[in-house]
Structure 1
C-alpha cells in the first residue's frame, strides 16, 4: 500500500510517460482551519483526471472545472489562494475563516519526478526545491526535522518516510500492520529470527531482519520518530526488544497481549533493571478499544493509538483497552481482541 503522496508522484510519472500533460498541486500554506495539511498534493491531467487531495473535494471540483475549460496552459508555477472571503470559504467547503494557498506546477521532463521516485524507492529522505520563476527543480538530501518552506521564489517540499516502525514477530497480524503503516508513510522493519516465519513473509517495501530483536533495536538507533510494536507472543523475543526500546527515545512502544499478560510482562521488565518511568511508557494492552478481534481490525486499532501519540492527542480512559474491558465487565481476560 503506497502513501497518498507516493500515489500522486507515480501517477504524475505515468501520465508524463504517456504524453499526457498534467499539473502538480501542493498545499503550501493554510490559515485557520483547513481540511488538508501543508505539503498535501494532488496531480491533475489535462482531461481533468486527478489523484490525491488538497481539500474536502470542492477545491478539487474547481480545479477540474478550470482544467477542462482552459486546458493545461500554465508555463510556470503559479500560487493560487482559496477562501479569502466568507463566500469563497462557503463555496469551497472551507471552515469559517479557513484559507488555503496552493502552488500549481506544470510538470515536464525537468520536474525530476522519476528521479524523486527512485530516491524514495531507496528509502531516502529528499528535499525537492522548485524555482517558481523558472520551474527548475533540484533534489537534495533532507533531514528528518525539515519541513515545507516557501521563501521568495523557492518552494522546498520534503518527501520520503520520516517515521520508522519496528514490528517484532512476522505473523499474519504483522502483515496487516506493516501494509497499513506503509500507507501512513512509515518505513517498516519486521524482525523475527524464527525460520518458519521467513518463508511465509511476502510484503514489498518492508525490510525483514532475522537478527535477535534486541540487537535489531540497538542497530536501528531509535529516535523520537520511531515506534516499536511487539507482536510475536513469545516473551523471549518481545521482552528483549521492549527492554531496549523502552530505554530509547522512541515515541511509541507497545506490546500485544491481555491485561493479565501485560501485568506479568511489566513484572518481568523490572528484572531487566528498567525504571518505573521507563516501564510506564509501555502501551499494553496495545491499541484503542474498538471491539476488534480480527488481525486487520487489531492492526487498525494499534495504528490509531500510534497516530494519536504521534500527534500528541490526549487519550481518554474510555479508549484504553484495559479500562474499557473493566467497564464492560469482560469475562475473557485472555483474549487479544482490542
Structure 2
C-alpha cells in the first residue's frame, strides 16, 4: 500500500532524525503565476544530502540541496525563486511564475517528538496542523479538520493543515483495476485491491499490485469508512460489486463508484434500492464511474476514473464545511 506524499516525506525525516542527522524541511508557502507544485509541497534534505519530496519539476531541488548540505539556516528562513529574470533563467521557472519557500531546520532531540506526533495523527486518519514559530523554529501540532487544510502564514507562525492520505479500495481484479491502480498511485493515492473470487485471485500475476482475498464489505467497514476513502466497484459482477457498494454507501467513504454502462448502472440502482438503500444514499453513487471522455479501452477507462478521483479529492481538501 502506498503512502501519501506528506506522510512519506515525514517518514524519511523521522528516520534521518533517529540516525542523528540534521534535516531542513522546505515548504512552499505561496506561488504566483505558473508553478509545477502547489503550496504545501515539501522537500526534506538531510545533512548527508539525502532528500525526499519535491517542490518543483526539478529546477529548484538542486539549489536547495546544495544550500542545505553546505550549511542550511539555523532558524526558519524564507527563500523566493522567480523574482528576477536571472532567477527565471537559472531555475527555468515558467515565465511570470514565482515560488516562496520556508526552509525550516530540524534537530534530532528537539524535533523528533513533533515529527512522530504528526505521523501518529496521520496514521490514525486524523487531520493535523503543524504550527511553526518563525522566530525560534520550534514546531508543535494540534488536531484539525478539513476546514483547516492548507498553508497560512503571519508575522509569527506558519500553520500547515495536513490531511490523511486518500485511500482507494478497488474491488475486482482485472485490467481496469491494474491501470486504475497505476495511475492512482502516480497521483498520490493509496491503493488496495480486493478480490474474493478464487478464480480471479489465484490467477492474478501483477506483482506491483498485491491482492487481498477478502470480502469487500469487511474491508470497507474496517479500513475504508472515513471521508478520505474511496470504494470502486470494478468486478463487473453484481455478486461482488453490490456487496461492496452496500457497505460503502452506508459508510463515511466520500467517493463510491461503479463501472458499467448507463443501462447497467440503472439496473444496479434498482437492485440496491430493493436491498434497502435510500435515495439519498443512492445519490452518492457515481455510476457510470469516471468522467465522460468517452473511454473504451481499460487504460482509457482508468484515466477517466482517476481524473474524477483527483477532482473529488481536490473538492474534499478545499471544502469549507466540516465533514
TM-score using structure 2 length: 0.72
- The DSSP-based 3-state class of the residue aligned with 2:153 is strand
Q: Is residue 262 of structure 1 aligned with residue 265 of structure 2?
A: yes
Which of these residues, 118, 121, 131, is aligned with residue 119 of structure 1?
121
Map of 1:86 onto structure 2? 85
Aligned-pair CA distance for 1:99: 1.5
Map of 1:149 onto structure 2? 152
Map of 1:53 onto structure 2? 54
TM-score using structure 1 length: 0.69
- Cα distance in 2 for partners of 1:185, 1:157 equals 19
Contact residue 173 and residue 194 of structure 2 kept, 8 A: no
Deviations 1:20-70 (A, max 9, x none): 3321111011122221111100112334442211112211122233345xx
Aligned-pair CA distance for 1:183: 6.6
Question: Structure 1 residues 231-240 or 111-120, which shifts more?
Answer: 231-240
Aligned-pair CA distance for 1:260: 4.8
Contact residue 191 and residue 216 of structure 1 kept, 8 A: no
Contact residue 191 and residue 208 of structure 1 kept, 8 A: yes
Map of 2:321 onto structure 1? none
Q: Is residue 228 of structure 1 aligned with residue 227 of structure 2?
A: no
Distance 1:209 1:157, change over 3 A: farther
Question: Structure 1 residues 132-141 or 175-184, which shifts more?
Answer: 175-184
- Cα distance in 2 for partners of 1:39, 1:206 equals 32
Deviations 1:247-283 (A, max 9, x none): 9997643212345533433454565686599659633
Distance 1:185 1:161, change over 3 A: farther
Tell which has more relative contact order, 1 or 2 (C-alpha 8 A, sep 6+).
2
Matches within 5 A, 1:305-316: 305-311=308-314
Aligned-pair CA distance for 1:94: 2.3
- Cα distance in 2 for partners of 1:189, 1:51 equals 24
User: Unaligned 5+ residue runs, structure 1?
Assistant: 313-338
User: Unaligned 5+ residue runs, structure 2?
Assistant: 316-323
Question: Structure 1 residues 179-188 or 109-118, which shifts more?
Answer: 179-188
Deviations 1:144-200 (A, max 9, x none): 221222122211222341645455x364666875687567555778888x5969x98
- The DSSP-based 3-state class of the residue aligned with 1:38 is coil
Cα-Cα RMSD: 4.3
- The DSSP-based 3-state class of the residue aligned with 1:152 is coil
